[in-house]
């Protein structure tokens, strides 16, 4: 018996790249059956994505595609053709959830918008992911999370060092947050459907997710009229909440938000009990005014030891801190291993393939067993037979180009 909470739920996905597919992948992790609709002419474009770290022509696995398309079945259908649309309708009429990230005008043109599909299936949960929302002057603007969520939301500008270029985001950072958020909203809508018997539309935009991730600073601006701006290490109000470089060239980050609470043990950990009597550093308010001087003092002390030498010292004094780890270090982090952060999927192109696990855990449910992402159109005939088509029907649709 499948004990995952969405076991028995049927999902149809019509989405590309990351945010929409990651939504459906999360639902699949939670037990749902996911059918991914793809264009026969190449499918989801992320299948061909190559980054500098995987630009090896002999490497047969595409990690970005595998990550967000695990636990799915792929059906190739040409939705530009009437027969292809009819095929999709038959699938969606049997589905509990429809997940899409297509542009609004494309959905309306193919009659795959909420009004059209809810008329066919009143119990359908229609999950829409857009760049900037479904209303307003930018509703039709093309977007990736880098643009809509990272640059447009204020996040990029706020965390850049003054006078430096805006910092680069790594691939799909906010896409995955949006996907997890939308999966949660879908789950809430499914719960409501159990009470009312009616489906509904749930929506999220990359722009709104970026604003939500920047919500603390933006709310301060809304309530006080003083919007947060970029600040350097020596300009912060709390030098105990900042980054410092160790002797071995590795960084650590102190996060003593309650600076006065940790002040005495911080001075002890760094071997500078004399700071306690220094009037420049008497309390958090004074240290804020003397942030540059305090930062320089801490810089000099931290630079005397390597990060590994500091680790037991900081921990024994119960400081709140973390090593600033590289991706290579994270892959072997024992705490990541302990919480099951990386899971394996079997793959024909490799002995084994590890991906990052869904961060949500359900008590009493065993360790996940992820299926590899499907080849393009791998399940077209299988799914067509499940919805009642005959082999003759399938052959006719393939000859017409409606199915791949």
Query: What pLDDT digit, counting tens, does each position of 96-116 carry?
Result: 999 999 999 999 999 999 999
CA end-to-end span of the chain: 34
Average pLDDT over residues 321-328: 96
Q: Work out the average pLDDT over 365-376.
A: 85
What top-level class would CATH report for the domain 233-325? alpha beta
Separation between Cα atoms, residue 311 and residue 323, nearest integer Å: 8
Please count the CA atoms within 13 angstroms of the CA of 133 that sit on its side-chain side: 9
pLDDT in tens, 194-233: 999 999 999 999 999 999 999 999 999 999 999 988 888 8
Place of tokens 């992911």: 129
Q: How many Å apart are CA 131 and CA 205, to the nearest integer?
A: 5
Phi, psi angle pair for 269, to nearest 5°: -60, -40
Where in 131-228 does DSSP place strands (E)? Answer: 200-205
Q: Where along the chain do the CATH 3.40.50.10540 domains lie? A: 10-213+339-400
pLDDT at 57 over 60: no
> What pLDDT score was predicted for residue 341?
94
* Residues 213-224 pLDDT 10s: 999 999 999 999
Averaged pLDDT, 87-98: 98
Where along the chain do the CATH 3.30.1540.10 domains lie? 233-325
Distance, CA of 28 to CA of 183 (rounded, Å): 10
Measured at the alpha carbon of residue 314, what is the angle toward residues 313 and 317, in degrees to the nearest 5? Answer: 90
Q: How is residue 364 written in tokens? A: 């009493």
* Helix (H/G/I), strand (E/B), else coil: 72: strand
Mean pLDDT of the chain: 93
What is the pLDDT, as a whole number, of residue 245?
98
- Per-residue exposure over 96-114, b if at least 16 CB sit within 10 Å of its own CB, e if not: bbbbbbbbbeebeebbbbb
The pairing of strands 125-130 and 97-100 is parallel
Class for the domain spanning 10-213+339-400: alpha beta
């Amino acid at each position: 018996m499948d004990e995952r909470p969405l076991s028995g739920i049927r999902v149809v996905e019509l989405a590309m790249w990351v945010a929409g597919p990651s939504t459906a992948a999360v639902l699949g992790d939670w037990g749902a059956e996911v059918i991914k609709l793809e264009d026969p002419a190449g499918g989801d474009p992320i299948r061909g994505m190559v980054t500098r770290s995987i630009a090896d022509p002999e490497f047969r696995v595409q990690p970005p595609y595998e990550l967000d398309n695990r636990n799915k079945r792929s059906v190739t259908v040409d939705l530009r053709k009437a027969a292809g649309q009819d095929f999709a309708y038959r699938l969606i009429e049997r589905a509990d959830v429809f997940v899409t990230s297509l542009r609004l005008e494309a959905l309306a043109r193919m009659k795959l918008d909420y009004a059209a599909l809810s008329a066919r299936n009143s119990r359908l949960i229609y999950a829409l992911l857009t760049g900037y929302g479904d209303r307003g002057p930018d509703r039709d603007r093309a977007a990736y999370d880098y643009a809509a969520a990272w640059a447009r939301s204020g996040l990029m500008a706020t965390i850049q060092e003054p006078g430096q270029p805006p910092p680069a985001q790594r691939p799909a950072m906010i896409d995955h947050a949006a996907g997890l958020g939308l999966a949660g909203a879908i789950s809430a809508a499914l719960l409501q459907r159990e009470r009312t018997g009616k489906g509904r539309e749930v929506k999220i935009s990359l722009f709104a997710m970026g604003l939500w991730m920047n919500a603390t600073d933006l709310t301060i601006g809304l309530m006080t009229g003083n919007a947060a701006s970029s600040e350097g290490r020596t300009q912060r109000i709390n030098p105990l909440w900042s980054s410092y470089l160790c002797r071995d060239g590795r960084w650590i980050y102190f996060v003593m938000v309650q600076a006065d609470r940790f002040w005495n043990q911080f001075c002890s950990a760094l071997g500078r009990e004399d700071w306690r009597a220094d009037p420049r550093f008497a309390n958090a308010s004074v240290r804020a005014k003397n942030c540059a001087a305090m930062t320089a003092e801490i810089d000099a002390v931290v630079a005397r030891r390597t990060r590994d030498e500091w680790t037991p010292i900081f921990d024994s004094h119960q400081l709140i801190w973390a090593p600033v780890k590289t991706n290579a270090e994270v892959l072997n982090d024992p705490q990541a291993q302990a919480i099951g952060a990386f899971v394996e999927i079997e793959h024909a192109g490799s002995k084994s393939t590890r991906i990052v696990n869904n961060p949500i855990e359900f008590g009493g449910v065993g360790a996940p067993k992820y299926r590899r992402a499907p080849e393009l159109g791998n399940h077209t005939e299988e799914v067509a037979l499940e919805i009642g088509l005959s082999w003759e029907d399938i052959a006719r649709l393939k000859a017409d180009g409606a199915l791949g």
